[in-house]
Structure 1
Amino acid sequence: MNIVAVAGISIIAAILSVMMKRYHHEYSVIISICAGLIILFEIMANVSPAVQQIHTLLDSAGISSEYAAILLKSLGICFLAQFAADSCRDAGESALASKVELAGKVAIVVLSLPLFEKIASTAVDLIGGGR
């Protein structure tokens, strides 16, 4: 990842956003969201090797790919919800940002239910309740 490009984009967007906020607040928000999306795409383009390395580590450890999928999907939900909530806060919509964060948390819980079920089943088997 080219951190210099990310830093440059964020500084330029911040300056433009502050300048535009005086005259057209709505354009300021659009500039911030567009810069955030550009940075997000830059990050996502460079995340692929890390995801591949995680899959390799989990495979070598003998951990099911189902768990890796849950981990990566949860991570994606976290990043997306945080980006959306921060964008809402930049637009002055704190209540909406809180709702986005809550939706992200609920989505992670729903996504993790099969994992919780497997853990509970294993615990019951270890205790001897599955006779």
Structure 2
Amino acid sequence: MEMIQIVGIGLITTVLALILKEQKPVFAFLLALFAGMIIFLFLIGKISAVIDVLENMAAQSGVDMIFFRTILKIIGIAYIAEFGAQIVRDAGQESVAAKIELAGKVLILFMAIPIITVIMETVMKLMPG
């Protein structure tokens, strides 16, 4: 049922944005931005529930919570960068959208360094030598 609501918001927004785009392009962009934020806010409860389940699973499995939180932050950066880039694309700014995506990738790589380091150290310990 929730997906139907989200698609409904998207379709209504699209129709209204197409109508507004001809006369007031700025309002069409603001409408799309507003609809995107409403859809995102609609999903926050679901995202929170998923994070809670994953945290419980990580705690039960004995995974170091620092690594788990880092992975969650990486996933968050990926989603936020994609969301921001799509909104900027809606405004017709492809080059700025590409820069947002690049920044997201660099931040993800930066945050992944501790995890990559641990993996590399583990692999080196497993190698005969």
The answer for the alignment partner of 2:60 in structure 1 is 60
For structure 2, list consecutive stretches of 5 or more residues without a partner in the other structure: none
The runs of at least 4 consecutive aligned structure 1 residues that moved more than 3 Å come to none
- 1:40 and 1:86 map into 2 onto residues whose CA distance is 13
- The Cα RMSD (Å) is 1.6
Q: Deviations over 1:48-75 (max 9, x none)?
A: 1111111111222221112211221111
For structure 1, list consecutive stretches of 5 or more residues without a partner in the other structure: none
The answer for the alignment partner of 1:42 in structure 2 is 42
Q: Which moved more, 1:115-124 or 1:82-91?
A: 115-124
Aligned-pair distance for 1:29? 0.8
Write out aligned runs for 1:84-123 (5 A).
84-123=84-123
The answer for the alignment partner of 1:15 in structure 2 is 15
The answer for the alignment partner of 2:72 in structure 1 is 72
Amino acid corresponding to residue 71 of structure 1 in structure 2: I
- 1:11 and 1:47 map into 2 onto residues whose CA distance is 23
TM-score by length of 1: 0.90
Q: Deviations over 1:67-121 (max 9, x none)?
A: 2112211111111001111111110000111010100111100011110111122
Aligned residues: 129
- 2:100 and 2:120 map into 1 onto residues whose CA distance is 29
- 1:107 and 1:34 map into 2 onto residues whose CA distance is 26
- 1:128 and 1:103 map into 2 onto residues whose CA distance is 39
Aligned-pair distance for 1:9? 1.5
Identity %: 29
- 2:41 and 2:52 map into 1 onto residues whose CA distance is 18
- 1:101 and 1:38 map into 2 onto residues whose CA distance is 22
The answer for the alignment partner of 1:125 in structure 2 is 125
Q: Which moved more, 1:52-61 or 1:87-96?
A: 52-61
Amino acid corresponding to residue 23 of structure 1 in structure 2: Q
